Amino acid sequence: MSTTRQLLNSTQVARFVAHGFLRLDGIVPPEMNEEALAVFTAGLPSVPYGTPVPKAFPEGSFARRLVELPAVAGALESLVGPDPTVDHHYVHIREPREGSAQPLHGDAVIDLRPDAFDVQLMYYPQEVTAEMGGTLIVPGSHLRRTNESDTGRYQNLRGQTRLTCPAGTVVLLHHGIWHGGRRNDSDIVRHMYKIRFNPTVPQVRLWDTADLDAPAVREELGRGFPWYEQATGRLEILNRIRLWRALSGDPAFDIEYWATRIANRPAARRSQA
């Protein structure tokens, strides 16, 4: 990874915990975006599961230079830590006017870790317009357990976002986020390059924690989304509290006393007789 560290701050990480993704718009230089299309056309070598980044992507390779861009390297270190391994990588292609879309789904739903997560990097070398479809994401869906593509029967959810972005945009996603590639109604082939990273260290305070106690952190973690149910949607905030406790190393963190209240189990007093 890059020696120039641009770590995320606590507010940004809290936003990731609440939304399930982080956008880095237009951070890849134009010359790399132009190079990318040729690299993708030529094909990428396969990478065995769990390969360290330096072995997965040799020095000087396109993928290595992509993940070593300071903003990308800093964000990845903040979320998965130094020296992650590569789970897999793949170039997703949407042909012009193909007439179909990918069902809404979550990846690796058998992953039940409550205190850890993988990060999926999605890189868009071209400008993605509304006509090109883009990637559909449902903010705040990543901590709700589903069975992979069971959500595919949902056509639209309030508050969903369909990614349109400038060329060179990178999006980092929690592995559980509900997403799907939309139909490409343009005359242009759409490319998206995905790399999934696995942490090799505990994901505890990996970012710049100078603003850990800032009010904005709590505001982000308490955020609601339009598709949440009035009652069940509150469980998503409880899930965030649990994850933030693990990430921040603060077992007492809470919002509105929710997690503290349900953990109350007074020990039975022994009889004094």
Query: For residue 102, what pLDDT band results from cuts at 50, 70 and 90?
Result: confident
Tell me whether residue 152 is in a domain: yes
pLDDT digit string (tens) for 11-23? 999 999 999 999 9
Asked if residues 159 and 138 have their Cβ atoms less than 8 Å apart, the reply is: yes
Average predicted confidence (pLDDT) for the chain: 91
Tell me whether residue 268 is in a domain: no
Tell me whether residue 50 is in a domain: yes
Tell me whether residue 237 is in a domain: no
Asked if residues 11 and 214 have their Cβ atoms less than 8 Å apart, the reply is: yes
Measure CA 264 to chain center: 32
pLDDT of residue 3: 46
Region 54-81 average pLDDT: 97
pTM of the model: 0.92
Query: For residue 262, what pLDDT band results from cuts at 50, 70 and 90?
Result: confident
206's tokens: 């990996």
Query: For residue 272, what pLDDT band results from cuts at 50, 70 and 90?
Result: low
Query: Domain containing 187: what range?
Result: 10-198
- Chain position carrying tokens 């409550």: 114
Query: For residue 269, what pLDDT band results from cuts at 50, 70 and 90?
Result: low
Residues with Cβ within 8 Å of residue 190, at least 6 apart in sequence: 93, 94, 126, 128, 132, 133, 134, 184
Alpha-carbon distance 237 to 243, whole Å? Answer: 10
- Is the pLDDT at 2 greater than 50, yes or no? no
- Is the pLDDT at 273 greater than 70, yes or no? no
Tell me whether residue 85 is in a domain: yes
Residue predicted with more confidence, 263 or 177: 177
- Chain position carrying tokens 């997690």: 259
Query: For residue 268, what pLDDT band results from cuts at 50, 70 and 90?
Result: low
HSE at residue 48, side-chain half, CA atoms within 13 A, is 3
pLDDT digit string (tens) for 161-195? 999 999 999 999 999 999 999 899 999 999 999 99
268's tokens: 């039975």
How far are the Cα atoms of 23, 27, 38, 122, 240 from residue 164, in angstroms, in the given order? 11, 15, 22, 13, 27
Residue predicted with more confidence, 259 or 76: 76
Residue predicted with more confidence, 156 or 4: 156
Give the Cα-Cα-Cα angle 69, 20, 62 (nearest 5 degrees): 25
Name the nearest CA neighbour of 212 among 253, 240, 178: 253
Domain tally for the chain? Answer: 1
- Looking at the DSSP assignment, which residues form a beta bridge with residue 122? 171, 194
Burial 52-86 (b: 16+ CB within 10 A, else e): ebeebbeeeebbebbbbbeebbbbbbbbbbeebbb
Phi and psi for 198 in degrees, rounded to 5?
-105, 135
Tell me whether residue 265 is in a domain: no
Tell me whether residue 154 is in a domain: yes
Tell me whether residue 257 is in a domain: no
State the DSSP H helix or E strand holding residue 74, giving kind and residue range, or none if neither: helix 70-80
161's tokens: 């976002």
- CATH number reported for the structural domain that contains residue 134 in this entry: 2.60.120.620
pLDDT above 90 covers what percent of the chain? Answer: 75
134's tokens: 């883009």
pLDDT digit string (tens) for 112-170? 777 889 999 999 999 999 999 999 999 999 998 877 677 878 878 899 999 999 999 99
- Looking at the DSSP assignment, which residues form a beta bridge with residue 196? 88, 120
- Is the pLDDT at 271 greater than 60, yes or no? no
Residue predicted with more confidence, 75 or 148: 75
